[in-house]
Structure 1
């Protein structure tokens, strides 16, 4: 069974590799260029400085990073400081085994409720599996927008989902 732990700088080449796959091969992210390991290091620092989790799922046998998740900035304005946006990605070969649910629940469990009151998910409307995953752990759909992103020469919509901590 895989384990979940806080990400370290040593995990970031694997994180960059996982994300690169989705940038280059899917509409799961609207990014058009993969992030460098140095950019991931800066992101890890910002997330830690904000008191938010950045976690990895590790295969207990091989030590390989199977996926990662973190809570990042939502909208970037001071009034939104207690709302975060989640990001979650698994190695493609790790998908479809229930690991996404474990990883996303692990992210929510690692969240300091004094720092984060709500988590938003902004999901490409073509990635039904991500919508279903978020719904399984308690996110609710709060809106949709059409044609707000463009990738691979086509317009993409977004599904907005919210998780509100109640404790």
Structure 2
């Protein structure tokens, strides 16, 4: 049975493993090096300290996906806007896990802390664009050729969700 719950420090090894796959094998992220487990623990701590959710999904004892609301643009004027990040183990894709996890992330967002959620999605990942659209995100822009990975230029699609709208 799939459950979604707040992540703990013990989940960071699975989170790091999931993300490493995408760093090494896809253009879903423009990271070229995967963060360490220690870096994921720091990200978890700073996310929770900022009053934002960091969730994991899976059956008891396993993690098949994670999602969190991170910093958007890093300037004080953007502090009520968050950028979502959601990744699943490849074998968990196409089973509704992403939709369940993203809805739970939105539900866990505190409107006193987060007004707007932005998704910055590689144009190479139409499944992620479709997922965000299914849960209510609206496309607000495209930036062609802004990222480079695997010796090619890749654009991004920007999608926006307003809490309480």
TM class by shorter-chain length?
over 0.9
- Please give the secondary structure, in 2, of the residue aligned with 1:150: strand
Tell me which residue corresponds to 1:141.
139
Tell me, in whole angstroms, the C-alpha distance in 1 between the residues paired with 2:8 and 2:58. Answer: 12
Tell me, in whole angstroms, the C-alpha distance in 2 between the residues paired with 1:166 and 1:67. Answer: 25
* Count of equivalent residues: 165
Q: Give the TM-score normalised by the residue count of structure 2.
A: 0.98
Q: Which runs of 4+ in 1 moved over 4 A?
A: none
Tell me which residue corresponds to 1:18.
18
- Please give the secondary structure, in 1, of the residue aligned with 2:133: helix
Query: Aligned ranges for residues 58-137 of structure 1 at < 5 Å?
Result: 58-60=58-60, 63-137=61-135
Give the C-alpha shift of residue 165 in structure 1: 1.1
Tell me which residue corresponds to 1:151.
149
- Please give the secondary structure, in 1, of the residue aligned with 2:64: strand
Give the C-alpha shift of residue 41 in structure 1: 0.8
Tell me, in whole angstroms, the C-alpha distance in 2 between the residues paired with 1:58 and 1:93. Answer: 12
Give the C-alpha shift of residue 166 in structure 1: 2.1
Give the C-alpha shift of residue 58 in structure 1: 1.9
Give the C-alpha shift of residue 122 in structure 1: 0.1
Runs of at least 5 residues in structure 1 that lack an aligned partner in the other structure = none
Deviation string for 1:64-84 (max 9, x for gaps)? 101000000000000000000
- Please give the secondary structure, in 2, of the residue aligned with 1:65: coil
Give the C-alpha shift of residue 147 in structure 1: 0.6
Tell me, in whole angstroms, the C-alpha distance in 2 between the residues paired with 1:66 and 1:166. Answer: 29
- Please give the secondary structure, in 2, of the residue aligned with 1:38: helix
Deviation string for 1:4-50 (max 9, x for gaps)? 00000000000000000000000000100001001001101110110
Deviation string for 1:132-159 (max 9, x for gaps)? 0000000000000011000000000000
- Please give the secondary structure, in 2, of the residue aligned with 1:76: coil
